[in-house]
Structure 1
Amino acid sequence: MTKQTSETVERSFCRICHAACPVNVHLDEGRVVKITGVDDDPLFKGYTCVKGRQLPDQIHDPARLRTALKRNPNGTLEEIASSDALDEVAAKLQAIIDEHGPRAVASYTGTGGYQNAPSHPTAAAFHRAIGSISYYTSVTIDQPMKATAPMRMGMWEGGPQNFSTADVMLAIGYNPMVSSYAPYGGLQGTDPFQTLRLRKEEGLKVIVIDPRKTELARQADIHLQVKPGEDPALLASLIHVILAEDLHDAEFCDRWVEPGHLDELRAAVDDFTPAYAAERCGVDADDIVAAARMFAAGPTGASGSGTGPSMSPHASLMEHLSLSLNVLCGRFLREGEQMDSGGLLPPAAPKRAQVIGPFGNPKGPQSRFRELHGYNGEMPCATLAQEIITPGPEQVRALIVNGGNPVAAWPDQTKSLEAMEALELLIVIDHRMTQTADFADYVFAPRLSLERADVPPFMDRWFRQPYACYTPAVVEPEGDLLNDWEVYWEIAERLGVDITLAGGPIPHRNADGSRPTDDEVLDLVYAKSRVPLDEVRAKNGTLVPEHAITIAPADPDASGRFQIALSDHMEELADVRNETTSAEVMRGFDPDVHTFRLISRRLKSHLNSLGRELPGLQRKNSTNYAYMNPADMDELGIVDDDLVKIASPHAELVGVVKAAPDVRRSVISMAHSWGSSTGTDEKVRDIGSPTNRLIDVENGYCTITGQAIQSAIPVSVEPISESALVG
């Protein structure tokens, strides 16, 4: 007898990462049983990744939190109605504000929070409402220079040249085949394998700078397998070749570069010859010359960087040099050209063929540490643990963690653990017990992606064509669950303050006692969107070429100019030339001891700390392996699944070794955001180990952004026995 089912299919989009892949959600009596791609989607064409296909397990995970939790005096957690927990949290926050001022209350929005469109805007607005500057996000952990570099150099209002018609792509330390990351003018995650194949058939040339032979590097015309941390020297050498051979766009530079800066940059890179860079960076000098000529020949394309070099030494300089390559070769959209992406959700703004800015160094509120400042409404995350543990009149005493995992993600785990213990009040919004939730006083269980209405806040700006994307909730939530924004809104209601978004304040509770809906809040977040949100809803999953953006002419009196020879970066470039290795910026570095470099990496099966709780993904990677070149393993006398001790000048951890021929010699490649909340690694085979333990936020950091060095970390490696691990 054939079993009868009542399966239905609802369309939504995945939010495990920011790629926003459209999905068909297969439901049987309201239960998610399968996720498939949407074959007729005009942009993704059925593409999904392994992470998104695990949404049924995420939604129905037996260990998923479905109600709020409260910590008892004896340290145990017990279930509590969310309304009661919110009453208690609001009272405690008010007491802290009354005694210590609003800056004592901080929030951290992590990657999970950013996959929920109203989450970040609501959290930021909550802080404005209570008068607290202490708002932090994951953006300032891994790539803050994406904001500060164009702020300081100036930016092209019309944006970079389009990937869809690019002749050349320079990819510096990113791998969109795994991360779905969309760098400046580069390939992003809408069916990246097929998209890259088709573009290469059309003649696209690909240059990759990466210590690993990644999935993208395997498709490269030139792969510069650079030593970790030496990207600034390599980029300076590419600029050296372009300027020495007069391959730059002289007409564009004459019009849009600050007078004198081209000559100053030329002088600053004069010593970065291909021969010098080849020895310093571990690549072939002829390949450097060929890459520089290929990029300059274009005639269209863009240079863009990713997380690896963005977390390495001299990260802001690296980003400045990458952007300078685009300036030198005029790689920007001109009057009359159309942008690939529609950018439907941001407010309407001019898109002219001209430079805006520069705007100088970050001028936001001042941190108490290292003379750093906030920017774009956020404070630098690398100081937050110190803001918590260091006494003083502006000490942070309460923290709301929204879709993030500070114990696993913040640099310098030793300080992070101390900070979690020091907090008077820790509130976590998460669907699972993370390493950070282990310390929480209250945990609020959120609605997950299929249980809420949403739009993709990031990908809307990165889609390869103007594309409308929206989803209603397609699954009825079970339990005492709150959307992220609802937690902030409920606290604000109890504190007597309004959360004001672009379209005005979120309404107070309805006459029947109900909250506003997700869609009502989305309407407020995007009240000033370029395309009305109702139209995005109506045209969901379709291309909207009628909303393509055409670049307008420059203002006749446009005065902005690119500052490609900023004095501090030119001085830093001289420091780089005087180094033997970028590791010299870290105190305690011993070239005879720290002979390896540990680099960050992405995994197909996990996103930061997300994935360990999902059986289908856990089977693929039970730990964050320490990937090493087989020749290095032979020299150390180790084989797959052996244990090694990895020690930086700051701390040490234990890793489980796995051979990886794609990793260059003297490099260890590990994913971040793994490990326990104990500061020890006895369960490394089951839960991995935290690379953030190796980092010291005060030893090797960017003076502009505050970002700590989190990749290209100098380390020593030695085998250890299983008994040593247990001991």
Structure 2
Amino acid sequence: MRVKTGQNGEHFTFCRICEAFCGLVAEVADGKVVALRPDRSNPHSRGHVCVKGVNMHAVTHDPDRVTKPLKRKGNVGEFIEIEWEQALDEISDALRSIMSEHGTEAVASYLGNPTAFSTNAIMGFGEFLGAIGCRKFYGAASQDTNARMLGNYVVHGAPYPFNIPDLSRCDFLMIVGANPLVSNGWGICAPRMRHDLDAIAARGRVVVVDPRRTETARPYEHVMVRPDSDAWLLLAMMRVIIDEGLADTDWLAAHSEGWGELFDAIARIDPVAAAARTGLAFDDVAALARDFATSERAALYAGLGLCRGYHGALGAFLYNAFNALTGRYGRPGGTRFGLNLIGAVKPFGGGHGAPYTRIGHIPSIAGMLATAMLPADIEEPGEGRVRALLMSAGNPVLSAPGGAVLERALSQLELFVSFDFYVNESNRLATHILPTPTFLERADWPFVGMGKLLQPFLQYTDAVIEPVGEVRDDYWIYCEIARRLGLDAPSPSPEKQAAARRGELADPVGQLDAAIRQGPAGDRYGDNPDGWSRDRLRDYPHGVMVENIPDDFDKWQERIAHADGRLRLWHPLIAAEFDRLLASAAPEGMAGDTANLILIGRRDIRSMNSWMHNVDKLVRAGAPTLLIHPDDARARRIEDGDQVTVSNANGSLTLAAEICNDIVAGTASYPHGWGHRAGWNRANRTGGANANLLAGAGAEWVETVSGMSLIDCLPVRVERAPA
């Protein structure tokens, strides 16, 4: 029996915090979600959910949540509530005026991570920006994903889709810079990650390469390396594989170009010296390389840790090249592209180069600009200076580098519109904040997971409850602003503009229904009676495993954008990055330098960037601590629990120290996203500090080739704080 939105009782839905999209059961009473629990009848997640997902109703019904449009009045962080008509009119008038006087280059956007988990927000925001001619896309990607997109662009010809490990058939999984038991599997839609990894370990090996003994490293094999040494490790292993005749040169000749140049470059690597840069003995590196290369069903899986050092782009390229070296593409248990039930998935995401940042001339990847250059784009005079910013679900003052500089820049904007749940550290400087729905208040598909599936799963959910207060759907907002700007639809597409004039334009959730209906799992509008549509899925609220969908892992070349379907294993961009790596010195703190440690981040199962720290159950343990190795603590006379200062030329933090053996010597670890001082009372009281204040803004804090912000592997001084 179908349950109507807001009806008392149980509603079956799914989480939209990360790519796992775990099934949930929501208990509704009097129009409110009073409890969430795992949906054990969901055939994909089968009862798995993390602590964040089952506490999302605390965000939906948070007294601190923004539920009516806000306009800044007076000092920073001081707002008054206004009506929607006034907010939309003021925003549209200001946009029109700025674009008329200064051109569309005066308008920039910032895309925060949660936007990707709302179909209407992610598809609508991009189309709306295209409709008004905005080409300046800043976002969280330059803090996490740009390097991976660059590696894909070189090897595959396009930033997307990502290749992922074939978990169900793999018997040797090497994980580099990822913590999937906490992240739930970045880049993969596989909600039962612990089950998958346990199964691989039972029939073979799971090897976790990380500077910290992470939650994923603990139950499996841990290889503890120095920070920012992933590229050195992969190159040393590749040198061993090539030297010992373990590379699949027949496969490379049949499926790739540039592998000869790659081999020539790797021949320049001294594998013993490269191993030393990782902190490992060469014999151990060589043994790992041989074991991987001789395993029938092996795959390398890498996460954001690979991307966030000083050589992230090269590391991301090597991730693909390493999987190719022994012919793992499209091989059972190797690396593959995800199933996709929308239809034929072509490579997408654009290219590399234009548009460039106005200041610093740093190239974009997939249209995404380097966020570290946003402050300069706002503050530096000249043609194209940013005067208006549209920000969707972002908090870059805490998540991006140089938060203090960015905060100063944001205060100078003529128009700053934020689409969000809260008044946060960034949008407290906004001119307007527009309240948007949590996932419990909107209909949706697991859209961004659909290209990352390892099993043929489909689910649709209607909104569990009506939006709280005067919250409005993101796409409705884009439509209203577009209409006020004289556009028929929030889209640059002439077809969609025409459909809007006829009154036939569906929102992105509806557009995705049409794509699914025409895809391999769809009902093809009646031609396939056993196929699926949004309406039929309403009768299967737990979701369905789609039958008769072939596993096309061996058709991986269809996902390659190069016209010949072949991988490219060398490129001038990579040659330059390779030379830069060879010329680099060992990081401070890694070569007997007792003054500095290398600061790295970490994940926490109770935290998601900066936006869930107002939920009491998630922060009862208090603010995070600075992890430090006993040897480093002893050298600084630091005791467990001491207050310490962590500083460099950019700033200083005071944190509580936690001494542990779970981190490699010479390294300290603290997560980003803390240090709250905005409109969330519980988060403000919890404490913690903004680690990204130790990173700077500007071109020197960017990996130029990818636009990645340099916010990890920072040399810092750690000392006991004065009493």
Q: TM-score range by the shorter chain?
A: 0.7 to 0.9
The answer to whether the Cα contact below 8 Å between 2:328 and 2:335 also exists between their aligned partners in 1 is no
Measured against aligned partners, the alpha-carbon deviations of 1:139-188 in whole angstroms (never above 9, x if no partner) come to 232121222212122369995662211122121110110012334xxx76
**Greater CA drift, 564-573 or 111-120:** 564-573
2:491 equivalent among 489, 500, 504:
500
Distance 2:468 2:435 in 1: 11
Measured against aligned partners, the alpha-carbon deviations of 1:286-312 in whole angstroms (never above 9, x if no partner) come to 221121112111222322321122110
Unaligned runs of 5+ in 1: 1-5, 351-355, 723-727
Measured against aligned partners, the alpha-carbon deviations of 1:469-523 in whole angstroms (never above 9, x if no partner) come to 2211011223111122222221111111222388724965999xx9976754655
* 1:167 has 2:171 as partner: yes
Aligned to 2:247: 248
The answer to whether the Cα contact below 8 Å between 1:342 and 1:547 also exists between their aligned partners in 2 is no
* 1:332 has 2:329 as partner: yes
Q: Residues 340 and 386 (structure 1 numbering): CA distance in 2 closer, same or farther, change over 3 Å?
A: closer
The answer to whether the Cα contact below 8 Å between 1:342 and 1:467 also exists between their aligned partners in 2 is no
Measured against aligned partners, the alpha-carbon deviations of 1:30-65 in whole angstroms (never above 9, x if no partner) come to 321211111122221100100011122112111111
* 1:460 has 2:472 as partner: no
Give the secondary structure class of the aligned counterpart of 1:218.
coil
* 1:615 has 2:616 as partner: yes
Aligned partner of 1:449: which letter? F
Aligned to 1:481: 471
How do 1:645-684 and structure 2 match up within 5 A?
Answer: 645-676=645-676
The answer to whether the Cα contact below 8 Å between 1:118 and 1:522 also exists between their aligned partners in 2 is no
Distance 1:307 1:100 in 2: 37
Distance 2:401 2:75 in 1: 30
Distance 2:556 2:68 in 1: 55
Aligned partner of 2:581: which letter? V
Aligned to 1:52: 53
Aligned partner of 2:437: which letter? R
Distance 1:275 1:718 in 2: 34
Measured against aligned partners, the alpha-carbon deviations of 1:123-145 in whole angstroms (never above 9, x if no partner) come to 11112111121222322321212
Aligned partner of 1:572: which letter? E
Aligned partner of 1:303: which letter? L
- TM-score calculated relative to the size of structure 1: 0.88
Distance 1:215 1:553 in 2: 32
Measured against aligned partners, the alpha-carbon deviations of 1:87-121 in whole angstroms (never above 9, x if no partner) come to 11111111111111112111212012111112122
The answer to whether the Cα contact below 8 Å between 2:120 and 2:509 also exists between their aligned partners in 1 is no
Aligned to 1:403: 393
1:579 equivalent among 565, 581, 584:
584
2:431 equivalent among 434, 438, 441:
441
Measured against aligned partners, the alpha-carbon deviations of 1:394-429 in whole angstroms (never above 9, x if no partner) come to 011111111111211122213211221111111111
The answer to whether the Cα contact below 8 Å between 1:698 and 1:708 also exists between their aligned partners in 2 is no
How do 1:260-271 and structure 2 match up within 5 A?
Answer: 261-270=258-267
Aligned to 1:348: 344
The answer to whether the Cα contact below 8 Å between 1:233 and 1:277 also exists between their aligned partners in 2 is yes
Aligned to 2:359: 369
The answer to whether the Cα contact below 8 Å between 2:378 and 2:387 also exists between their aligned partners in 1 is yes
Measured against aligned partners, the alpha-carbon deviations of 1:427-475 in whole angstroms (never above 9, x if no partner) come to 1111112111211111111111111001122222223201002211011
**Greater CA drift, 492-501 or 78-87:** 492-501
Give the secondary structure class of the aligned counterpart of 2:665.
coil
Unaligned runs of 5+ in 2: 1-6, 524-531
Q: Residues 705 and 687 (structure 1 numbering): CA distance in 2 closer, same or farther, change over 3 Å?
A: same
Shift of 1:338: 12
Aligned to 2:117: 115
Distance 2:86 2:684 in 1: 38
Q: Residues 701 and 137 (structure 1 numbering): CA distance in 2 closer, same or farther, change over 3 Å?
A: closer
The answer to whether the Cα contact below 8 Å between 1:67 and 1:444 also exists between their aligned partners in 2 is yes
Aligned to 1:63: 64
Distance 2:469 2:630 in 1: 49
Give % identity: 28
Give the secondary structure class of the aligned counterpart of 1:458.
helix
* 1:636 has 2:628 as partner: no
Q: Residues 118 and 583 (structure 1 numbering): CA distance in 2 closer, same or farther, change over 3 Å?
A: farther
The answer to whether the Cα contact below 8 Å between 2:350 and 2:367 also exists between their aligned partners in 1 is no
The answer to whether the Cα contact below 8 Å between 2:168 and 2:196 also exists between their aligned partners in 1 is no
The answer to whether the Cα contact below 8 Å between 2:164 and 2:338 also exists between their aligned partners in 1 is no
Measured against aligned partners, the alpha-carbon deviations of 1:325-356 in whole angstroms (never above 9, x if no partner) come to 11111111169x997843123x4247xxxxx9
The answer to whether the Cα contact below 8 Å between 2:629 and 2:665 also exists between their aligned partners in 1 is yes
Aligned partner of 2:395: which letter? N
1:319 equivalent among 301, 316, 333:
316
Give the secondary structure class of the aligned counterpart of 2:702.
coil
The answer to whether the Cα contact below 8 Å between 1:400 and 1:426 also exists between their aligned partners in 2 is yes
The answer to whether the Cα contact below 8 Å between 2:336 and 2:556 also exists between their aligned partners in 1 is no
Aligned to 2:185: 181
Q: Residues 528 and 144 (structure 1 numbering): CA distance in 2 closer, same or farther, change over 3 Å?
A: farther
The answer to whether the Cα contact below 8 Å between 1:466 and 1:548 also exists between their aligned partners in 2 is no
Aligned to 2:305: 308
Distance 2:350 2:515 in 1: 29
Task: Note the aligned Cα RMSD (angstroms).
Answer: 3.3
Give the secondary structure class of the aligned counterpart of 2:299.
strand
Distance 2:583 2:629 in 1: 29
The answer to whether the Cα contact below 8 Å between 1:231 and 1:318 also exists between their aligned partners in 2 is yes
- TM-score calculated relative to the size of structure 2: 0.88
**Greater CA drift, 632-641 or 293-302:** 632-641
Aligned to 2:205: 205
* 1:601 has 2:599 as partner: no
Aligned residues: 691
Distance 2:661 2:376 in 1: 40
The answer to whether the Cα contact below 8 Å between 1:169 and 1:303 also exists between their aligned partners in 2 is yes
The answer to whether the Cα contact below 8 Å between 1:69 and 1:442 also exists between their aligned partners in 2 is yes
Measured against aligned partners, the alpha-carbon deviations of 1:525-568 in whole angstroms (never above 9, x if no partner) come to 8787665496255345111132334345979x974543323344
Distance 1:590 1:340 in 2: 40
Aligned to 2:3: none
